[in-house]
Amino acid sequence: PKSLRVLGIESSCDDTAAAVVASDGQILGECSHHQYAVHEEHGGIVPGLAANEHLKNMPLVLHGALKAAGMRMDELDAVAVTRGPGLPSSLSVCVAAGKALAAAHSLPLVGVHHMEAHALMARMGNEQSVRFPYLCLLISGGHTMSLVVHDVNEYTLIGTTRDDSVGEAFDKVARELQIPWIVAQEGGGPGPALERIACRGDPSRFRMPMPMNKHDSGSSPDFSFSGIKAHIKRLREIGAFDPLCQRDQADIAAAFQLTTTQHLCKKTALALKHAKIALGAEAACLVASGGVASNQTVRAGLQRLAEKHNVPLVCPPPRLCTDNGVMIAWAGIERLRRGLLDPYTIDFIQRWPL
C-alpha cells in the first residue's frame, strides 16, 4: 500500500500539539506546548485560560511540527484533528485549525475521537503484535475504562468508572497533599509530581480502603476512585497526617498509588475474563494507554498481571501515553486507510461515547 503522511492536531484539554506521522509508524516531526505554568496557581485547568493559550500557541505548534518534518502542507495526504470529547472552548481551536488547513489545501479531513487515538496508539509501527481484537485499558484525566477493540471504529465497553477518573484522583490527591506540580515541557502536572514523591514513601504506613471490595461490586469490572480520595481528605481533616511534613506526604502518596494500582489490576483481570466471554477467545494482547499509563508503578502492576494471565502487555512509551499530536496523526492514518473521512463542515463533539 501507498505510504501515507498525516498531520495530527490536538487541543482537547490543556496541551496544544501537532505532529506529522507516516503510515510505517515513523514520527516525521512533532511540536507541542503545555500549559502547566498557567494553570498551577488555580489548582486545576481553567477552560477560558486554556482556550486563550491554544489560540496563541496553535500556529506556532503547527509551524514547528511541519518544520521539524521538513514538509509543506501540499506534501501531506490528510489532516487529522481531535473532534472530541473534551473542553468545548479548547476543542474549537483544533477543529477550526484542522478544517481550515484541510480545506485550504484540498486535503482529506479526519475527525478523531480522542480516546480512540489513545486506544490505537500502541499499534503505531507495531501492527504485527497489536492485532485486533485486543483489550484496552484507557486511564486518563477524563476517562477510566476497559474496552475490547475489535477494529478501528469498533469497540465494546467492558468497564468504566462509577465516579472519578483515575487521573482526576491523582490530581485531587496531589492537591490534598499540596504537592507542587512539575512544570516541565514533558511529563509535567500533578500526576507525575505525585509519582515522584511516592517513590520515597512507605506504602504500608497508612491503610487505604480498597474500592469496590464488597460482595456485590467485587465481581464487576467497573472502577471507583472517590472512596480513596475521600479517605485521604478525611485523614487530613482529622490531622492523621500533615501535608507539609515530607515523610507524611510521601507515605500517603505511596499508599494511594499502590492501592490505585491494585484496584486497576484487579478490575483489568476481570475485564480480561469478560473480554474472553464476549470474544469466545482470548484477547490478542492487553494495551494500556492514557496519561496514567505513563506511571511506572501502574505499568509494573499491569506487567505482573499480564504475565500471570499469559497475555502480552503493550504500552506506548510514556510520553505517547499522555496527550500528544502523534496519536491523533496515527488514528488519522488508521481511519484514512479505511476510508473514514469527514466533511469540512464538522463541529466538535463535547460528550462523545466511543
Q: Name every residue whose Cβ is closer than 8 Å to that of residue 251 and which is 6 or more positions away in sequence.
A: 201, 202, 203, 205, 206, 241
> Locate cell 485531587: which residue?
172
For residues 68 and 96, the answer to whether their CB atoms sit within 8 Å is: no
Candidate list 141, 201, 316, 332; residue touching ligand KG4; CB under 6 A? 141
Question: 155 vs 170, which CB is nearer to ligand KG4?
Answer: 170
Contact code string over 13-42 relative to ligand KG4, x by CB under 6 A: x-----------------------------
Q: 3-state DSSP call for residue 173?
A: helix
**Going edge to edge, which strands form the sheet with 27-34?**
27-34, 15-22, 5-10, 78-84, 109-113
Q: Which does 189 bind (CB under 5 to 8 A by kind): Zn ion, ligand KG4, none?
A: ligand KG4
**Which of 85/301 has CB closer to Zn ion?**
85
Distances (CA, A) of 193 to 23, 41, 105, 249: 34, 15, 42, 12
Bridge partners of 137, per DSSP, are 146, 288
Q: Output 206 or 225, the one with its CB closest to ligand KG4.
A: 225
As a whole number of angstroms, the longest Cα–Cα distance in the chain is: 64
Q: Contact 126/317 with Cβ under 8 angstroms?
A: no
- Options 1-9, 137-145, 174-182, 273-281: segment touching Zn ion (CB under 5 A): 137-145
For ligand KG4, the closer of residues 344 and 352 by Cβ is 352
Taking the complex as a whole, the smallest distance from the CB of residue 72 to ligand KG4 amounts, in Å, to 30
217 to 256: interface string for Zn ion, x by CB under 5 A: ----------------------------------------
Instruction: Report what 167 binds from Zn ion, ligand KG4, none; CB cut-off 5-8 Å by kind.
Output: ligand KG4
**Residue 316 binds ligand KG4 (CB under 6 A):** no
Residue 170 touches ligand KG4, criterion: CB under 6 A: yes
Determine the Cα–Cα distance for residues 354 and 345; give it in Å rounded to an integer: 21
Site for Zn ion in 299-338 (CB under 5 A): 323
Strand 144-151 relative to strand 134-139, pairing = antiparallel
- Supply the minimum distance, in Å, between the C-beta of residue 272 and Zn ion: 23
Chosen from ligand KG4, Zn ion, none, partner binding at 190 (C-beta under 5 to 8 Å by type): ligand KG4
Angle, to 10 degrees, between the axis of helix 190-198 and the axis of helix 246-279? 110
Apex 221 CA angle, 217 and 225, nearest 5: 70
Q: How far is the CB of 114 from Zn ion (least distance, A)?
A: 6
> Is the Cβ of residue 60 or residue 199 nearer to ligand KG4 in the bound state?
199
Q: Say whether residue 171 binds Zn ion (CB under 5 A).
A: no
Which residue among 133, 211, 290, 325 contacts ligand KG4 (CB under 6 A)? 290
| Neighbour tally for 77: CB within 10 Å | 17
In whole angstroms, give the CA distance from residue 114 to residue 101.
19
Who's near 214: CB < 8 A, 6+ residues apart?
Answer: none
- String of contacts with Zn ion for each residue 81-120, x by CB under 5 A: ----------------------------------------
Closest approach of Cβ 224 to Zn ion, in Å? 21
Binding site for Zn ion (CB under 5 A): 140, 323
Residues that bind ligand KG4 (CB under 6 A): 13, 140-142, 167, 170-171, 189-192, 195, 290-292, 294-295, 322-323
